[in-house]
A and B are shown apart, each in its own frame.
Chain A
Amino acid sequence: MKLKHVAPHKDPDVVRLGTAALREMTELSSSLRHATVLTDDGFEVVGVPAHAADGRLASMASSIQALTEGVANELAIGPSSYVIIASETGHVIQLRIPGQQLVLAALFDGDETLGKALSTARIAAEKFAAALTSR
């Protein structure tokens, strides 16, 4: 029997676990403005606040992730660990959910230190990966 493949953004299990991971992230950091988990091709799996950016962050994060991984590959410097956009009033952090075709992208306001933002995002990504693996 051929198993039907369910896209991650349509898989209730992935959505539920992603929601829990992002909720925990918001509890860890009061300066988190927006976070999303997206598929490699830019579909939002889950976001907090829900639908805050109408999937726009997911689409842009997908392009950035692909470009970043392309550059790392061209330069033969190994897999890209994370992407940081540090701006005047906020930071965007994004990183791959380990072992998954999913990416976490988060926007923090400027009150957050870059180190804390990165640590928060990394912990959330690792916990989400572990939850997906153990289901």
Chain B
Amino acid sequence: MEHIILFAGPMGAGKTTAIRTLSDIPVVATEASNSDRAAADKATTTVALDYGEIGVSDEEKVRLYGIPGQRRFDFMWRILRDRAEGMLLLIHNDAPDPLGSMREFLIEFGDLCDRGGVAVGVTRTDVRPGLIVTDYTDFLEQERPDLMAPVMAVDPRDRGNMELLLMSLIANIEMRALYREVPA
């Protein structure tokens, strides 16, 4: 059995790092030099996709696709969105407007949230104190009260953190699929 999971979120949230942390195979990355250091102070940025794989059991493999965080690459969002079963949304807590970014991706990938599932990872909570995880949980409940999505603080460099979030998402996808199969 295979799952296809999309890693989404704004530039600098840690999507490429998270995929590198999780993947059992060398990651295919499409990073280019970042010309816009004002938008995010990092050396490189993803311009097409990241790809990795992780085996979760002998029979179960998860394909991990990372999308570019910048909207000018939204054609890649559409290409990859249609293949995915769920979205792992990473939001960095020190972004100028983290809740606004969260809303943007929940709307853009609303169809994926409806038919699959979503889990939210809040990154860089140690860099700048600001919102706390319950602020994100409350915001998600307010924006999408129909979604029962896990929300947790994560460090994209920490395999344990990322595995927990990924497994929570897969459990969420499978649980929602079961609910859909059970007649009302």
Complex alpha-carbon distance, A65 and B48, angstroms? 9
The segment out of A66-74, A85-93, A107-115, A120-128 that lies at the interface is: A66-74
Known: A60-B75, A66-B47, A66-B48. A7 touches B30 (CB 8 A): no
Q: What residues of B have a CB within 8 angstroms of the CB of A63 in the complex?
A: 30, 47-48, 68, 73, 75-76
A31 at interface, CB cutoff 8 A: no
Q: How far is the CA of A97 from the CA of B29 in the complex (A)?
A: 22
B32 x A66 contact (CB < 8 A): yes
Check if B35 sits within 8 Å of A70, measured CB to CB.
Answer: no
Which residues of B from 2 to 56 have beta carbons under 8 Å from A?
28-37, 45, 47-49
| Contact between chains at A62 and B47 (CB < 8 Å) | yes
CB-contact partner of A9 in B35, B47, B49, under 8 A: B35
| Residue of A5, A60, A66 ringed by the most chain B CB atoms within 10 A | A66
Give which listed residue, B28, B32, B36, B37, contacts A62 with CB less than 8 A.
Answer: B32
- A73's closest neighbor in chain B, by CB? B28
Alpha-carbon gap, A59 to B48, bound state (A): 9
A98 near B: Cβ within 8 Å? no
A81 at the interface (CB under 8 A from B): no
Confirm or deny: B72 has a beta carbon within 8 angstroms of a beta carbon on chain A.
Answer: yes
- B interface bracket (residues with beta carbon within 8 Å of A): 20 to 34
With a cutoff of 8 Å between Cβ atoms, the chain A residues found around residue B30 in the complex are: 63, 66-67, 70
Q: How far is the CA of A110 from the CA of B36 in the complex (A)?
A: 36
Q: A41-B35, A41-B45, A66-B48 are in contact. Are A74 and B75 (CB under 8 A)?
A: no
Residues in B with CB closer than 8 Å to A55 are 72
Given contacts A63-B48, A67-B48, A74-B28, contact A39 B75 (CB under 8 A): no
Contacts of B34 in A (CB 8 A): 41
Contacting pair B35 A39 (CB below 8 A): yes
A7 close to B47 (CB less than 8 A): no
Distance of B29 from chain A, by nearest CB (Å)? 8
Checking B28, B32, B75, B76 against A41 with a beta-carbon cut-off of 8 angstroms, the contacting residue is B32
What chain B residues lie within 8 Å of A18 (beta carbons)? none
Question: Complex Cα distance A43/B169, Å?
Answer: 34
Instruction: Write the residues of chain B forming the contact surface with A, with a CB cutoff of 8 angstroms.
Output: 28-37, 45, 47-49, 68, 70, 72-73, 75-76
Sample of 23 A–B contacts (CB below 8 Å): A5-B37, A39-B33, A41-B33, A41-B34, A41-B47, A42-B32, A42-B73, A43-B35, A43-B36, A59-B72, A62-B48, A63-B47, A63-B68, A63-B73, A63-B75, A65-B47, A66-B30, A66-B32, A67-B30, A67-B48, A70-B30, A70-B48, A74-B28
